């Protein structure tokens, strides 16, 4: 297993093309850019924790393929215990970073691809599962970071992929021969892509027969010829070029460092292709990935919320109102919501069951409910954090003002709360709250792992409403024996 430093060193060896604000970065300097450095640090922590005996039980596991000790982020779930430990691991790491550490998307993509390729081979006689196992062995042996690449730009949402005026708005196969395939298109909102080694490309939706060129799943190095990464803007990102205080979370950054990844006629050899035109399995791959990814959110957002709650409580201490009854009530309400998020992720893991491949899959209904909770409760937690913190979060002078020889004394004098706490410390906590409850972080809570409507569609489909109606009819004495015989679990 790599250490955090070894992970960083390995990234410098890539020949990756990354643009930020219209400028192409030098390949070996990508991870040093102020916009990217924090995201690299957050991902590096997942490597260092795996080498720390204190976190060994959560961070490492025995590979079912080799029997070797591996980082859990490269593992295929083999039990309910694996699913539960994943959520506990995510909460623990989030408590340490206060942000996204980016390895979850690839982790979930690999687990979804593993079970779906097995089922595809069983039905169609293809050889995708064996190919994928070879890729997985490579990932486990080298401990590389894989970026999950599902979301396409999508263009006109009222049209299917094959109906778009521009066919490249969904990633698709443009040609193939005995050596491999050529793909073209783009993947949007790509978390951790610029500090990963490989990307695992998946279809963005269930495809119909006319969309077969868009039913593609494959692994590609992030620096393969024809790939360009255009780094996205984040709230207050120019502050990353300034002092540490104004960043709020200078070491680990905001969310996951998303980018738009352009695939301009990229060659993929057949041994790295795991779906190519098998439209009947594209929907299963999308849904399985989505459920694994939605499982995460009560863990990672529970941990992030722990930090927000802690910061709010510290701000109350520093400002002298921590003993006020309404402050205690608000903090207790925040704790209740954070634990609700966590409980649902644990529940969908505890209710997991094995797939035909032997890999374990979460309860899909509870996984979707878990993510849908996040789209609401995180906003309520962050609203209360801003309420407790006060207007200083939005109007505070800069770190440059604090350090100015002429006006710094006024900042230290007038931004002080309780006399025992320096104004600088109060400013640090206020900036952390601003960072964690502001624009980019909230948008990710809403749309990461799918927007709220995607979860509604899934739990509406999975909730078995007819059974609920039958329960009511039977208890009301309206049901018949025939109806009772049709009851389902």
Tokens (6 digits) for 132: 């994928």
Look up 191 and say whether it is catalytic: yes
If we measure between CA atoms, which residue out of 181, 371, 223 comes closest to residue 289?
371
46 annotated as ligand-binding? no
Look up 329 and say whether it is catalytic: no
Look up 481 and say whether it is catalytic: no
| Cβ–Cβ < 8 Å for 231, 35 | yes
Look up 258 and say whether it is catalytic: yes
Which is catalytic among the residues 151, 293, 318, 344? 293
Which is catalytic among the residues 39, 75, 101, 104? 104
Look up 348 and say whether it is catalytic: no
Which residues lie across from 275 on neighbouring strands?
A: 217
Quick one: three-class SS letters along the chain?
A: CCCHHHHHHHHCCCCCCEEECCEECCHHHHHHCHHHHHHHHHHHHHHHHHCCHHHHHHHEEECCCCCCEEEHHHCCCCCHHHHHHHHHHHHHHHHHHCCCCCCHHHHHHHHHHHHHHHHHHHHHCCCHHHHHHHHHHHHHHHCCCEEEECCCCCCCCCCCHHHCCCHHHCCEEEEECCCEEEEEEEECCCCCHHHCCEEEECCCCCCCHHHHHHCEEEEEECCCCCEEEEECCCCCHHHHHCCCHHHCCCCCCCCCCCEEEEEEEEEEEHHHEEEECCHHHHHHHHHHHHHHHHHHHHHHHHHHHHHHHHHHHHHHHHHCCCCCHHHHHHHHHHHHHHHHHHHHHHHHHHCCEECCCCCEECCHHHHHHHHHHHHHHHHHHHHHHHHHHCCHHHHCCCHHHHHCCCCHHHHHHHCCCCCCCCHHHHHHHHHHHHHHHCHHHHHHHHHCCCCHHHHHHHHHHHCCHHHHHHHHHHHCCCCCHHHHHCCCC
Look up 459 and say whether it is catalytic: no
Which is catalytic among the residues 97, 99, 191, 204? 191
Which is catalytic among the residues 119, 198, 258, 434? 258
Which is catalytic among the residues 47, 99, 100, 399? 100
Which is catalytic among the residues 119, 287, 434, 444? 444
Look up 210 and say whether it is catalytic: no
Look up 344 and say whether it is catalytic: no
Which is catalytic among the residues 47, 101, 297, 360? 297
> Residues forming the annotated binding site?
191
> Residues forming the annotated binding site for FAD?
191
**Which residues have a catalytic role annotated?**
100, 104, 191, 258, 293, 297, 300, 444
């Amino acid at each position: 297993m790599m250490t955090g430093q070894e992970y960083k060193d390995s990234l410098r060896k890539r020949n990756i093309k990354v643009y930020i604000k219209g400028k192409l970065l030098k390949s070996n300097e990508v991870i040093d850019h102020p916009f990217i450095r924090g995201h690299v640090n957050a991902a590096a922590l997942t490597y260092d924790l795996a080498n720390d005996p204190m976190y060994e039980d959560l961070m490492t596991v025995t590979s079912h393929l080799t029997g070797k000790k591996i980082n859990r982020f490269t593992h295929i779930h083999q039990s309910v215990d694996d699913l539960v430990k994943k959520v506990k691991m995510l909460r623990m790491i989030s408590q340490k970073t206060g942000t996204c550490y980016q390895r979850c998307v690839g982790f979930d993509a690999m687990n979804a691809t593993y079970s779906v390729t097995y089922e595809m081979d069983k039905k169609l006689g293809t050889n995708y599962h064996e190919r994928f196992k070879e890729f997985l062995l490579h990932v486990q042996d080298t401990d590389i970071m894989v970026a999950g690449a599902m979301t396409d730009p999508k263009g006109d949402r009222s049209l299917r992929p094959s109906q778009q005026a521009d066919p490249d708005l969904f990633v698709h196969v443009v040609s193939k021969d005995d050596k491999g395939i050529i793909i073209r298109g783009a993947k949007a909102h790509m978390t951790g892509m610029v500090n990963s080694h490989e990307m695992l490309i998946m279809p963005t939706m269930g495809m119909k027969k006319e969309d077969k060129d868009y039913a593609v799943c494959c692994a590609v190095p992030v620096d393969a010829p024809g790939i360009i990464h255009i780094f996205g803007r984040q709230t207050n990102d120019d502050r990353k070029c300034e002092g540490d205080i104004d960043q709020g979370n200078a070491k680990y950054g905001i969310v996951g460092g998303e980018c738009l990844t352009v695939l301009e006629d990229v060659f993929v050899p057949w041994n790295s292709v795991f779906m190519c035109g098998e439209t009947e399995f594209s929907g299963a791959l999308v849904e399985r990935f989505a459920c694994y990814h939605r499982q995460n959110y009560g863990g990672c957002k529970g941990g992030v919320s722990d930090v927000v709650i802690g910061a709010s409580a510290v701000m109350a201490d520093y400002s002298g109102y921590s003993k006020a009854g309404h402050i205690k009530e608000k903090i207790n309400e925040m704790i209740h919501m954070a634990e609700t998020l966590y409980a649902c992720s644990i529940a969908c893991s505890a209710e997991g069951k094995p797939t035909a491949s032997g890999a374990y899959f979460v309860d899909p209904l509870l996984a979707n409910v878990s993510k849908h909770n996040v789209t609401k409760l995180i906003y309520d937690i962050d609203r209360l954090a801003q309420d407790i913190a006060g207007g200083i979060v939005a109007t505070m002078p800069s770190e440059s003002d604090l350090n100015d020889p002429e006006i710094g004394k006024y900042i230290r004098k007038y931004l002080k709360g309780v006399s025992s706490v320096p104004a600088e410390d109060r400013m640090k906590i206020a900036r952390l709250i601003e960072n964690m409850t502001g624009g980019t972080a909230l948008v990710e809570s809403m749309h990461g792992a799918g927007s709220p409507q995607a979860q509604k569609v899934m739990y509406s489909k999975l909730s078995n409403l007819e059974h609920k109606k039958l329960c009511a009819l039977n208890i009301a004495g309206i049901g018949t024996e025939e109806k009772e015989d049709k009851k389902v679990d």
